[in-house]
Structure 1
Amino acid sequence: MGQSLYIETYGCQMNVNDSELVASILTDAGYTLCQSAQDADIVLLNTCAIRDNAETRILGRLAHFRDLRATQTPHLTIGVLGCMASRLKGELLSPRVGANLVVGPDSYRELPRLLARAQNAVAIRLSDRETYQGIAPLRYATNGVSAFVSIMRGCDNHCTFCVVPFTRGTERSRDPLSILQEVEVLRDTGYREVTLLGQNVDSYRWSMGAEGDLPFAGLLERVARQAPGMRIRFSTSYPNDLTEAVLHTMAQYGNICPHIHLPVQSGSDRMLRAMRRKYTRAEYLQQVARIRAIIPTVAITTDIIAGFCGEQKVDHQATLSLMREVGYDAAFMFKYSDRPGTYAHNRLPDDVPEEVKTQRLAEIIELQNELSLQSNMHDVGREFEVLVEGDSKRSAEDACGRTGQNKMVVFKKQQSEPGQYAHVRIVSCTSQTLLGELV
């Protein structure tokens, strides 16, 4: 038996998928996955660098593993993978942090060789070609119902607040044939839902030779036809890159879920320019109207940043008014976090006081809770097809699953099992959850 391996994952869905790639690479090399860091010879942390509090949390975990090595497991190898590895590089090898291994998102194929060295190994070079084609992810921590499939890597947008172009490199798309083969394997092994992943899926493009280029709309249609019995989701869309062709494809195929995550970040044109977003408030609202005209049942969710550089009260009020105008079903909401290496860090003063950021974020969250409750109350009395994911966290007598709009539903499970579809009538709700009964 090879050395035992424990992987801990932070951040976005892309990191979850990357951890599955790492698990596949290392188990093929003879390593054995285990469920506890206490039982491991190697601990790998797949990290996120998008906000300071994410890095702070990971540094705390690294301190824990460093202490574990000092007191209980002297042979323990500690590795840092992902975006934080790209950003901090060799700093993570310092005695203060205690890592032995630092590997960026484009260097995972090198892990077996690097682990053989075990000490002070760094591989963080970004690639303009690596898509991990030919590696089948090891779905070691899924519910057996839903899975992620990466269709592209990197980002070319260079928003002023974002580290992703520096930690994950430029955009490159994956061969559609390999994507379809991966979806086919998931379909044949019983998965019922797949999410196509990319930092900006709408930038997906693959040359088909004499047939021309295959854009994201074409890939989405091929995946929907490849697995008609599976739900298809995708994330994330960039507002002015989302085409009508994608929307019409969603409307045409019933297995493509009517949910679009459309990050806005701010409702102020002044802030959007400072963030180097490539749309105006009016253009964003036009896109929302276009989406709802083509897909009337759609749910729209978003990302919002509070307290970006130079944000004034009028900019904050513009964000609140846009939220009301769109009526988001849900949102991810954050205080602005200055990230070294970004344009904002180098050129724009982080001049909104922390207490003001906190207050503005609280107002955004309060408003979104109201909007989410209104959205969920609209669903009371309606019936939905819910894909069962498992038991509710609060009671083994209840099942939970999601609607096509990605809303969580809890109901008495009776004979419902994970992976089955349940026909559920919504009888009540909170701002976060729909409560239903089997029909």
Structure 2
Amino acid sequence: MNASKTFHVTTFGCQMNEHDSERMKGMLESLGYAEAGAQDGADLILFNTCSIREKADSKFIAYLQQAAALKRRNPGTVIGVGGCWAQSVKEDVFRQFPYVDVAFGPGQVHKLAEFLNSDSLTAQGFFEFEGFTGHLPMKREREFQGWVQISAGCNMKCSYCIVPATRGRQVDRPLDELVAEVRTMVDGGVIEVTLLGQNVNAYGRAVRGGERSSFAALLAELDAIDGLRRIRYTSPHPQDMKEDVVLAHAQLDSVCPHMHLPLQAGSSRVLKEMRRTYSRERFLDRVALIREHNPDIALTTDIIVGFPGETEADFQETLEVCEEVGFDGAFTFIYSPRRETEAAEFTDRFVSHEVAVDRMERLVEVVQRRAGERAQRFIGRTLDVLVEGYSRTDPSRLRGRSAHGKVVNFTGLAQPGEIVPVEITSATSQTLAGEMSLLARALA
């Protein structure tokens, strides 16, 4: 019935959204739709939205308005909006955007198929969490890499974060179900998986339809799967970073020597206002424990500047932590108030945009300088690199990623999906460069 119909998906936000978009694409192709290269001319224009920052909202709405213009030219076009933004404005989405045909939250991706197969495509919204998307077909961007959602929602109450309002309280998938899914993925050619959750190392406490477990136990079960070469995950919470997970990095071959540990702020006072449930000292204690067992591990982080009430002294403490830790990289953000969050009410304490921009520039300088210094440890070493394609800046070279999560551009002959040894010859804060080892070239 839908053999001649096409769809186009635009994804905003985090890896969880990328995972859900892959499920949407797989589900649509199973219904007979074909993926279009652009919105123009597609029968179904679909957006998977993010609501973490105001900038994501604004960007999405501009895209949505473009889709509305396309629909005016072709009234038969169906416009769908999924994800966190849709969930956060569920009461108003059809009133504000009457050209939207279907809207659904993160726990209702499967309802898209039900809507498209219904007799009448009158506007409908689906927002109550019903289940995970793991059972849906998937169309992966790369056949050798896959996302795995291990949980949904979050029980933390960070004062700036909208996730609990859009994704609800934490619900975990049963361990045996996850192991079976990953084993099937590996049988299909996947050699690297990334485990996804709002707080992955709290996994196992809220299992739906199964026994309680732990994140460390899940890592061990997945490590035992033959053919799975790399396990990554995002994101953990410093409060729940226990020694069992730290030891998993040291003892399990497939768990990558890379950990993304969100700091958010280096001031204990600001962390308390953020309701992050740990102090500066606790964070540094976790870093010390991680590096005690994994000296070579790559640590990356998230940092917010300009949180309401942040003083220059508070910001200096953030810079001090960045200097002391020496992160291998960081995602840095200027605070953006989100509806339905406690911090959005701190209007009398908002930091001016000019001050926030100045702090951001100073933070980026410190992060990049320390990351560049940390990267020098790789020069002269041979790293196993998972080939992902050609270099974005030099098509005569290949691009891949080391187990540490570092992008590597290198010369050599290899195919996407291969893991090859690369001798590192230079390093910056962002990337490494090198050449395939002479032995690897000879074998090739």
Measured against the shorter chain, the TM-score band is over 0.9
3-state SS in 2 of match to 1:317: helix
Paired residue for 1:205?
204
- 5 Å-filtered alignment, 1:325-364, equals 325-347=324-346, 349-364=348-363
Q: CA deviation at 1:183?
A: 1.1
Q: 2:424 aligns with which of 408, 422, 426?
A: 426
3-state SS in 1 of match to 2:106: coil
Paired residue for 1:224?
223
**2:77 aligned with 1:80:** no
Structure 2 counterpart of 1:426, one-letter code: I
3-state SS in 2 of match to 1:214: coil
Paired residue for 1:386?
385
Q: 2:30 aligns with which of 14, 28, 31?
A: 28
- 1:208 and 1:314 map into 2 onto residues whose CA distance is 42
- 1:227 and 1:196 map into 2 onto residues whose CA distance is 17
Superimposed CA distance per residue, residues 99-128 of structure 1 (whole angstroms, 9 cap, x where no aligned partner): 222111111222123333433211122x3x
- 5 Å-filtered alignment, 1:107-186, equals 107-115=108-116, 116=118, 117-125=120-128, 127=129, 130-139=131-140, 142-186=141-185
Deviates more, 1:29-38 or 1:322-331: 29-38
- 1:208 and 1:160 map into 2 onto residues whose CA distance is 26
Q: Per the alignment, do residues 133 and 426 of structure 1 end up closer, same or farther by CA in structure 2, a change over 3 Å counting?
A: closer
**2:400 aligned with 1:397:** no
Q: CA deviation at 1:22?
A: 2.0
Q: Per the alignment, do residues 151 and 208 of structure 1 end up closer, same or farther by CA in structure 2, a change over 3 Å counting?
A: closer
Deviates more, 1:237-246 or 1:265-274: 237-246
- 1:168 and 1:227 map into 2 onto residues whose CA distance is 33
- 1:282 and 1:230 map into 2 onto residues whose CA distance is 35
Q: Per the alignment, do residues 180 and 96 of structure 1 end up closer, same or farther by CA in structure 2, a change over 3 Å counting?
A: closer
CA contact (8 A) 1:90 1:102 kept: no
Structure 1 counterpart of 2:27, one-letter code: I
Q: 2:16 aligns with which of 14, 17, 20?
A: 14
3-state SS in 2 of match to 1:40: coil
Paired residue for 2:265?
266
TM-score, with normalisation over the residues of structure 2? 0.93
Paired residue for 1:56?
58
Structure 1 counterpart of 2:433, one-letter code: L
Structure 2 counterpart of 1:91, one-letter code: D
Deviates more, 1:92-101 or 1:244-253: 92-101
Paired residue for 1:417?
415
**2:80 aligned with 1:89:** no
Aligned length: 432
**2:321 aligned with 1:322:** yes
Q: CA deviation at 1:86?
A: 0.8
Q: CA deviation at 1:130?
A: 1.8
Superimposed CA distance per residue, residues 181-202 of structure 1 (whole angstroms, 9 cap, x where no aligned partner): 2211221222221101111111
Q: CA deviation at 1:178?
A: 1.9
Superimposed CA distance per residue, residues 275-311 of structure 1 (whole angstroms, 9 cap, x where no aligned partner): 0001000010000000001111100000000000100
CA contact (8 A) 1:148 1:196 kept: yes
Q: Per the alignment, do residues 399 and 49 of structure 1 end up closer, same or farther by CA in structure 2, a change over 3 Å counting?
A: same
CA contact (8 A) 1:340 1:346 kept: no
Q: Per the alignment, do residues 145 and 132 of structure 1 end up closer, same or farther by CA in structure 2, a change over 3 Å counting?
A: closer
Q: Per the alignment, do residues 350 and 68 of structure 1 end up closer, same or farther by CA in structure 2, a change over 3 Å counting?
A: farther
- 1:435 and 1:406 map into 2 onto residues whose CA distance is 14
Deviates more, 1:221-230 or 1:60-69: 221-230
CA contact (8 A) 2:171 2:207 kept: no
Q: Per the alignment, do residues 286 and 228 of structure 1 end up closer, same or farther by CA in structure 2, a change over 3 Å counting?
A: farther
3-state SS in 2 of match to 1:194: strand
- 1:304 and 1:270 map into 2 onto residues whose CA distance is 15
Q: CA RMSD in A?
A: 1.9
Superimposed CA distance per residue, residues 363-384 of structure 1 (whole angstroms, 9 cap, x where no aligned partner): 1111111111111122211221
CA contact (8 A) 2:424 2:435 kept: yes
Q: Which runs of 5+ in 2 are unaligned?
A: 438-444
- 1:64 and 1:329 map into 2 onto residues whose CA distance is 38
Q: Which runs of 5+ in 1 are unaligned?
A: none
Paired residue for 2:43?
41
Q: CA deviation at 1:403?
A: 1.0
CA contact (8 A) 1:102 1:122 kept: yes
Superimposed CA distance per residue, residues 230-284 of structure 1 (whole angstroms, 9 cap, x where no aligned partner): 2111111100201111111221112110100000100001100000001000010
TM-score, with normalisation over the residues of structure 1? 0.94
CA contact (8 A) 1:92 1:98 kept: no
Structure 2 counterpart of 1:416, one-letter code: A
- 2:289 and 2:96 map into 1 onto residues whose CA distance is 54
3-state SS in 1 of match to 2:201: helix
CA contact (8 A) 2:171 2:206 kept: no
Q: CA deviation at 1:136?
A: 3.9
Q: CA deviation at 1:220?
A: 0.6
Q: Per the alignment, do residues 97 and 60 of structure 1 end up closer, same or farther by CA in structure 2, a change over 3 Å counting?
A: farther
**2:102 aligned with 1:101:** yes
- 1:330 and 1:336 map into 2 onto residues whose CA distance is 19
**2:214 aligned with 1:215:** yes
